Structure 1
């Protein structure tokens, strides 16, 4: 079996504004570490035989600075994970599949697709889980999701409801995927955790044949047809932005869930930093120079600016370039509302 790690790096990460901007997406930033998020993701992909990064035209020149060993696939336009993964999987099958014409290419090819903006504490456990998921995908032909075991009732993540437990012919354990659940309110999140649901990590594994066959019977079908005809630009022109979960995974009846027991976090918004960085005596976490007086439970982040907080609590205060963001931590997801307005005024 040949495993290809596919990293999605074409987004911007608007909820991490103003650090993340149109010309400086979050995957290129060293948030919560010394290396960029993309470079750290690539390091975790050591379980794979090949490494591929999918990105957009605006970022293609910078990707090799963070992942010099990766092959780069360029999608024509940002249209969410559905079109991006369809095109990348198509290209990977052409490049690494048996039909590529390489005599030593294994007939069994599995793609493990992952975002470029996650935090994983235990690389060894992560890699072992990815290997297990790849084997399940290869042996069963199922589309595989990786469900993280929750350590809290989180309202910022979607959830996966596992179904009956199964195993492959070689004894690999997995569950049927019963249902996806959207981001819940606090009460529902508690119910999900108590019921044994798992966080939807946004990491997947599949054989190209299985995925493209499922995509052909989905809202991505026209794109699959155009890609088969060698009409990439036309395919992206006619497809609407859509997530791969909604377009494909939710529509198949035999998807699988492989449990992920490693510590995981989606670095999607500023409040995530309080789970990753050391706290001071008052629960504040910070990146960059700062001063706090009678301030508690805040998140502070800046580039070369000194930030002072006095008598405030529960805020995210972020200063990058010529921009400053102040938002209650509990409403950090709403940063995208500000970004939408800035984009409309061509100020992003």
Structure 2
């Protein structure tokens, strides 16, 4: 395995499904959801097992990134075009700046149970977490070791705890072990977000959630990306013209552009509890609910309310309701049935069309 381990934290998105807390000028990675510090700050601290940490963001958010994560280097992509172009750009830039290394790629807006997940030791690769480690740092260093030893693209899979229809799934092959003693599974298939019946089957048959956390060497990722629709971007990056490269490609996820197409994908199971905090209904999974099942973020009063998520940066009162999300931030308020929380993106789409997001 290479001597240098680099963490790349992706922080260029908006988190539209957490509107109105998350807005175009205040993406969710800068919000403290259930804690005292922002999700980005917690993620960068969590990545302290790496030798170097970079945050990849868009230019207009760079100053905010530096405020929330002053210890990290900042990379700015020309424009946000989803995770495919973002991770290709990051791999190319880090290889230029650091040289031979292994990358772990982390979203900036996830919740990891137990924030004692970093040791901050700065240890050399050979001294890092052993294969038996049972925390975030251990899983990610295992994933990086598998990536370096097998020259594969590694995804970290989370064992499902419910038949979730909002996540992608990964079907693992039979367990294998590297020469260094790290266990992994070749990936058989990636599956997009399923319906309820399929999600139940996937959970029963041992599929993992695709958590959007990866490990690879820059050379391995760029090799696979060169055979994808990201090829024009890579050609432009090699020519020193990232603006032209981003203009030449459409927005595309790394899963669709690279991971679903490669024959060299591997899965390392996570040994930590995880939630992507993708929508308001996720808040109740990471906060302690009251006796009536209400999860409250901020200052709120609930009377005769049940199983309701209330989130506010001011004050909110809810009376005689159940199974709702009530979110009020600044001059914006959202009320939606909890089981339709994913539809917040429809609100955001309309607001964007009107220039109000």
Same fold (TM over 0.5): yes
Aligned to 2:63: 61
Alignment deviations for residues 168-217 of structure 1 (CA, whole Å, 9 cap, x no partner): 11121000011111111222111111000001010000000000010010
Equivalent residue runs for 1:218-297 within 5 Å: 218-297=228-307
Alignment deviations for residues 264-314 of structure 1 (CA, whole Å, 9 cap, x no partner): 00011000011011111100010122111211000000002x211111100
Give 1:226 shift.
0.6
Alignment deviations for residues 83-130 of structure 1 (CA, whole Å, 9 cap, x no partner): 011001100000000xxxxxxxxx4x1000010000001343001000
Aligned to 2:318: 309
Aligned to 2:102: 110
Which of 77, 94, 97 is the equivalent residue of 1:95? 97
Which of 113, 134, 155 is the equivalent residue of 1:121? 113
Aligned to 1:139: 149
What is the CA–CA distance in structure 1 between the aligned matches of 2:184 and 2:256, rounded to whole Å? 21
What is the CA–CA distance in structure 2 between the aligned matches of 1:329 and 1:93, rounded to whole Å? 44
Which of 162, 178, 197 is the equivalent residue of 1:187? 197
- Unpaired runs of at least 5, structure 1: 98-106
Give 1:261 shift.
2.3
SS of residue matched to 2:102:
strand
SS of residue matched to 1:325:
strand
Which of 74, 80, 102 is the equivalent residue of 1:78? 80
What is the CA–CA distance in structure 1 between the aligned matches of 2:149 and 2:139, rounded to whole Å? 15
Which of 311, 316, 323 is the equivalent residue of 2:332? 323
What is the CA–CA distance in structure 2 between the aligned matches of 1:248 and 1:288, rounded to whole Å? 40
Give 1:31 shift.
0.8
Which of 337, 340, 343 is the equivalent residue of 2:349? 340
1:164 equivalent to 2:174? Answer: yes
| Root-mean-square deviation (Å) | 0.8
What is the CA–CA distance in structure 1 between the aligned matches of 2:325 and 2:300, rounded to whole Å? 13
Give 1:164 shift.
2.1
Equivalent residue runs for 1:169-180 within 5 Å: 169-180=179-190
SS of residue matched to 1:60:
helix
Of the structure 1 ranges 151-160 and 77-86, higher mean CA displacement relative to structure 2 is found in: 151-160
Aligned to 1:102: none
Aligned to 2:159: 149
- Unpaired runs of at least 5, structure 2: 118-134
Number of aligned pairs?
337
SS of residue matched to 1:164:
coil
Aligned to 1:52: 54
SS of residue matched to 2:173:
strand
1:200 equivalent to 2:202? Answer: no
SS of residue matched to 2:260:
helix
